[in-house]
Structures are given as structure tokens and as C-alpha cells.
Amino acid sequence: MRRTPKRPARVIPLFELEVAVFKDQQLESVETPLDTVAHADKARHEIERDHIFRFFRLNLEPREVEYHWQRLLLHQARFPTARGHKIDLRTAAFDYFLNETDLLVDPLVMEREALRQTELMAYFDHLTGLHNYAYFESEIKTEVARAKRYDTSLCLLLVDLDDFKLVNDTLGHRAGNEVLREVGRILHKRLRSSDLISRFGGDEFAALLHRTDAEDGQRVADSLCESIDQQLRAGKLGQLERPVTASLGMSALPNQAEDEVQLFELADKALYRAKRAGGNRAVFA
């Protein structure tokens, strides 16, 4: 006896989904970003949803909350991503409610200040005080366009700590956090205020050096390598079986790369070579 194949779930166009929500229609098998999340993650998403709507002080009916939550997740997914990172939900919420809806047409002064603080928090890493990946990704496109327009050079440095896991395993996560803060301080101190410095997450950092060619970029990277090696040997870190050092991968525009995508790709390959060579070194693409 032949079985009738199960009809695949229909992906409902966004416009049709909007109409259905506001007309209380039932759509069968509507696939949304939340449907792809495991059950445990759904609970986390619900908590995040409640926090978002409480913060923006939106007094909405449950069906309207669900509608805007699904729209927010879709809005978040539309932001360009790289290196496996996803834009922070708070950043997406700030942009969505302010620019994609009329729910905050005339927010109170206090709410505007709160939103400004949220935007700042969304673009900074709370542990090191450096910019985060979301901010770096948005700014590097602007900087590349500016460098092309004025015919200037840019150098991208990707920094990855060597044997960082050993710190967490041996001395604990608090010591690991202090190492990350110290690396952030070194980068902030050794680089110029005009350079774009960021922590990507984990033990990965990046810096975009303005008006810096390949030769100058190599000197800066070598100096950073030496500073990190020296600074991370003090105190309890000196007890580690292997010292915590850093590997750096670099690329430059216009020397090697033509845009931000190539800058990342080439610097990432150079970083891989630095790691393979034993770490504690800077390698140019």
C-alpha cells in the first residue's frame, strides 16, 4: 500500500504572515526562525523576548507581542554576518523598533537616553571595554570605503591568544578574564586612539590600523607580540606550564586586499600560519 508522502511545511511569506496575525487567521506549519530552535533554547528566547518588551515599555496584546517578536528575529537574521558571529539581539531590537515600526515615534526623553545606553552596551564588550564584533563589522566597511576614496592604506590585525585554555584549566576562569582584560589594556595602550580595536569574543581580538602600510603594520604587530609575551608572564601566570602568548595574522589594503572581505580572509589565513608555526609571532598575508 502506497503511502502518501508527507507534504513539506510551507514557508509563509512575511507579508502573508503579517496579515494573518492581525486578522487572527490560522496558518498551517508556519516556519519562523524560532521553529528551528531546540526546546531548551525556546525557553531562553522567551526570557529574552520578555526582557526586550519590558525594556521598551510596549503595552501590547499577546498576539502583537508574538508578531513583533517573530519580526524581530527575522530582522536580526537579515544583518550581514561573518566568522560565525551573529549580531546582538539588543542591537537588532534597537534598530527594529526605532526604524521598522511606529511604536517609538515619540519616546520620552528618559527612554531615549535608555535606548542610547542600550546601543552603547550593544556595541561594547563588557569585559574589556573594547568595541565588540558587531561594531567592528559595521565600521570596517566605512573605513575601507574611506581609504579607497582618499587613496590611503589600512592594515588589519587579527589576534588570537596561544594556550589560553591552559589559563582557565589551571588558574580558573577569573584568571582567564583578567588575562583578557590585560590584553585589552595592552592593545588600547600600544595602538593609536584613531585605530579601531575590538574583542571578537573568546580570546580573539582585532585592530584596524589607519594610514598604515604593510611595513609599518609588521612593526606594530611585532611590538604587540613582544608586549603581550612580557606582560602575561607576571604573577600567577608565571606558574603556567607554558607562557600565554599571542599569534597575529595581518593583511593590508591596497597592498593585498581590495575590500573588507579579502582583508578578513587573508588575515585569517596568516593567523592560521602563525599558529601552525608555533605561535608567539606575527605573520603577514
CA gap 131, 63 in Å, rounded: 36
Residue of 19 and 154 predicted with greater confidence: 154
Cβ neighbours around 86 below 10 Å, total: 12
Lowest mean pLDDT among 33-37, 205-209, 237-241: 33-37
- At 209-247, the pLDDT tens digits run 999 999 999 999 999 999 999 998 877 787 787 889 999
- Could you tell me the fold of the domain covering 133-284? Alpha-Beta Plaits (3.30.70)
- Residue 14 confidence class, pLDDT cut points 50, 70, 90: very low
Going 16 to 18 to 19 to 20, the CA torsion angle's sign is positive
Mean pLDDT within 143-155? 92
Q: What is the pLDDT of residue 96?
A: 86
Residues classed as catalytic? 203
Domain limits, CATH 3.30.70.270, in the chain: 133-284
- Checking if the pLDDT of 13 tops 80, the result is no
- Please report which residue ranges of the chain form alpha helices under DSSP H: 14-22, 39-55, 62-78, 89-99, 109-123, 133-149, 164-171, 173-190, 214-231, 260-276
